[in-house]
A and B are shown apart, each in its own frame.
Chain A
Amino acid sequence: MPDSEVLHAEHRLEYPYSRSVGPVIGAFLTGLREGQLFGAMGSDGTVIVPPTEYDPQTAEDIGELVEVGPGGVVESWAWVPAPRPKQPLDRPFAWALIRLDGAGTSMLHVVDSGGPDRLTTGDRVVVRFRPPDVRIGSMADIECFVPEVRDGAEVREGLR
Chain B
Amino acid sequence: MADEPGGPSTVTEDRGPVTTLATPIRLDFNFTPGVAQSRFLMGLADGKFMGQRCSVCSKVYVPSRGSCPTDGVPTIEDVELANVGTITTYCVVNVPFAGQSIEIPYICAQVLLDGANLSFMGLIQEVPTDQIRMGMRVEAVWVDREELSPSLASVRYFRPNGEADADYETFKEYL
Which residues on A are within 8 Å of B, measured CB to CB?
A: 1, 5-21, 26-27, 29-30, 33, 85-90, 136-140, 143
Contact = CB atoms under 8 A, between A and B. Distances in A.
B4 A140 contact: yes
Contacts, number: 111
B143 interface: no
Nearest to B40: A7
22 contacts: A6-B35, A6-B38, A7-B32, A7-B33, A7-B38, A7-B150, A10-B29, A10-B30, A11-B29, A13-B29, A16-B22, A17-B23, A17-B24, A18-B6, A19-B20, A20-B19, A21-B19, A26-B17, A30-B18, A87-B2, A137-B11, A138-B7
Contacts of A10: 28-31
Interface residues of B, number: 37
Given A14-B99, A86-B4, 6 more contacts: A5-B38, A5-B42, A10-B31, A12-B26, A15-B26, A140-B7
Contact of B2 (A18, A21, A88): A88
A27 B23 contact: no
Contacts of B3: 85-86
B155 to A, nearest CB: 17
Contacts of A86: 1, 3-4, 26
B108 to A, nearest CB: 19
Contacts of B164: none
A88 B1 contact: yes
Contacts of B31: 8-11
Contacts of B10: 137
A11 B38 contact: no
Nearest to B151: A9
A16 B28 contact: no
A98 to B, nearest CB: 16
Contacts of B102: none
A150 B24 CA distance: 39
B136 interface: no
B46 to A, nearest CB: 13
A158 to B, nearest CB: 18
A33 B35 contact: no
Given A10-B30, A33-B18, A19 B23 contact: yes
Contacts of B150: 7
Nearest to A3: B35
Interface in B104-146: none
Contacts of A14: 24-27, 99
A142 B28 CA distance: 26
A18 B1 CA distance: 15
A20 B27 CA distance: 23
Contacts of A11: 28-31
B34 interface: yes
Interface string B79-115: 0000000000000000000110000000000000000
